[in-house]
Structure 1
Amino acid sequence: MTFSAWEAIKKANYIVGYKTYINLIKDMLTDQQKVVSTGMRGEVERCQTAIRLARAGEIVAVISSGDAGVYGMAGLIYQLLFQDNISLQVTVIPGITASIAAASLLGAPLMHDHCSISLSDLLTPWEVITKRIEAAAQADFVIAFYNPRSRERTEHIEKAREILLKYRPPSTPVGIVKNAFRTDQHITVSNLEEFTNCEIDMLSVVIVGNSQSFIKDGKIITPRGYDL
């Protein structure tokens, strides 16, 4: 995490978040701080609780994994405030999103134009997701896939691979990073033909290179285009 995130957590009276993320910072918390945690799909409830506590005068830290503004809680907090015409001081603390963390462990795969696409269709129709994959593939973006595979949703990453293979060779570099910078971190370097046979879950980020990306000494590099 960033230093500003660390400081914000230390200053908060209340810590609100998904229980898995709360567990990641439990060693930071003091006996004076109160914790409100909920399970998966409790995002609206968590943010409503945080707003209620803040309106009562508490200093509240809403915890997200990575960066709160990237598939996190920042947008939902603002939506709820605007919807109910509530005025509160909100500070979005920058974090390190999973694609950036994963890229640093893989080498330098994001050195040129890139995009992020979540393969979770809980909040976005699958038809929309496939259109975005198709467009990114045609445009030769390096692509970071978030939420690539869950226990119930195993086929989406396979379908994404099928779309990409229409535009990119099977040898295209692919990196998979699970639990970046956590104790059970795991890094795999593969290719577009074979990567779906690797271990991939909801704690993984999959980065697919573009037409210029290459693998050297186990690292994925996407050239920026410098004249060497």
Structure 2
Amino acid sequence: MGVLLLQSRDNRGRLYIVSTGPGNLLHMTPRALKALGEAECVIGNGFYLDLVMPMLAGKEVIRSSMGREVDRAKKALALSEDRVVAMVSGGDAGIYGMASIVLEVAERSGTAVPVEVVPGITAAVSAASRLGSPLSGDYVTMSLSDLLTPWEEIERRLDLAFQMRVPVVLYNPRSRGRPHNLGAAIGIARRHLPAETPVGVVRNAYREGEERLITTLGEFEDHFAFVDMHSIVFVGGEETRIWRDEGDERGIITPRGYHRKYVY
């Protein structure tokens, strides 16, 4: 756990960037719950605030919409000059979350507010647990959102990632504004991986309405409608397999390599 002090200061204000994990309070760290408990004011996107609402009684709550991340960061830092403030961020704040923009704004403004990033369970980890063990070794995470990264660069990175033939986790896979990005990504995957490669999707991991889908790369296109922005997509690597028990589909496993060293 680290507190970033841009300058020495004596007053009581501070900012916690609190990672909420998948959204279920049982999957938040004790440190994250303590930071929320200490906060006088909590700010964040309305969706993530709703997930932690039982922790917010008696606190000032400031709701912000998607696309207002810079304004949210500035507001949180300003409030933290003389108050204890928590900004909530889904999953892990340092992975496609709010930590980077808050620290960038803090750096450029020269603020003396102490900022602590409180880690959490990122979506790849929570969703993977609902499939079995698809990420037991090396893997790559990629976001298909081109709001902050040009699509040409995303395509370049996807091509390199799938060439590695390790599992690839796709964040922000399919939205109403960019429904075709998932198809483009899967098209790149099929250049490098066989049609039998396992694909798993988990929607609303550890939240109300949780669903999962297990299919193959060759058949996945028929299931694109299942995927939305609350989903995480796993494209297996060269050793990934679907785990079956007496013919019933149980989950996805990517062996770590114990079979090469031990007999079991």
Same fold (TM over 0.5): yes
Q: Could you say which residue in structure 2 is the equivalent of 1:39?
A: 65
Match of 1:223 in 2: 255
> Which secondary structure does the structure 1 equivalent of 2:86 belong to?
strand
Equivalence map 1:98-177=2 (5 Å) = 98-177=123-202
**Residue 8 of structure 1, aligned match among 21, 32, 35:** 35
- Return the alpha-carbon distance in structure 2 between the equivalents of residues 66 and 103 of structure 1: 13
2:233 maps to 1:206? yes
Distance in 2 (CA, whole Å) between partners of 1:167 and 1:214 is: 16
Contact 1:14 1:61 in 2 (8 A): yes
Deviation at 1:93, TM superposition (A): 0.5
Q: Distance in 1 between matches of 2:66 and 2:182?
A: 21
The match for 2:203 among 178, 188, 197 is: 178
Structure 2: give runs of 5+ residues left out of the alignment: 1-27, 245-249
When the two chains are superposed, the root-mean-square deviation of aligned CA atoms in Å is 0.9
Name the SS for the 1:211 alignment partner.
coil
Q: Which amino acid aligns with 1:222?
A: T
d(CA) in 2 for partners of 1:92, 1:169? 40
For residues 59 and 158 of structure 1, the distance between their equivalents in structure 2, rounded to whole angstroms, comes to 44
Counterpart amino acid of residue 154 in structure 1: P
Code of the residue aligned with 2:141 in structure 1: it is S
Q: Secondary structure at the match of 1:120?
A: coil
In the superposition, the TM-score normalised over structure 1's length comes to: 0.97
Retained in 2: the 8 A contact 1:157–1:196? no
Q: Secondary structure at the match of 1:92?
A: strand
- Measured in 2, the distance between the counterparts of 1:87 and 1:189 equals 49
Shift of 1:105: 0.6
Q: Which amino acid aligns with 1:79?
A: E
- Offset of 1:196 from its aligned partner? 3.3
Structure-2 separation of matches of 1:4 and 1:106 = 27
Separation in 1, partners of 2:114, 2:219? 48
Which of these residues, 7, 18, 27, is aligned with residue 54 of structure 2? 27
Q: Distance in 2 between matches of 1:165 and 1:128?
A: 19
Q: Deviations over 1:181-201 (max 9, x none)?
A: 001111111111122332000
Structure with more contact order per residue of length (Cα contacts < 8 Å, sep ≥ 6): 2
Question: 1:6, 1:200 → 2: CA distance?
Answer: 31
- 1-structure distance, mates of 2:92, 2:146: 20
* Other-structure match for 2:80: 54
Deviation at 1:118, TM superposition (A): 0.3
1:84 aligns with 2:116: no
CA deviation vs aligned residue, 1:139-177 (integer Å, no higher than 9, x gap) = 112111000000121111101111010110011011100
State how many pairs are aligned: 226
**CA–CA separation in structure 2 for the residues paired with 1:162 and 1:27:** 43
Cα distance in 2 for partners of 1:206, 1:7 equals 32
Give the match for residue 25 of structure 2. none
Choose 1 or 2 for highest CA Rg.
2
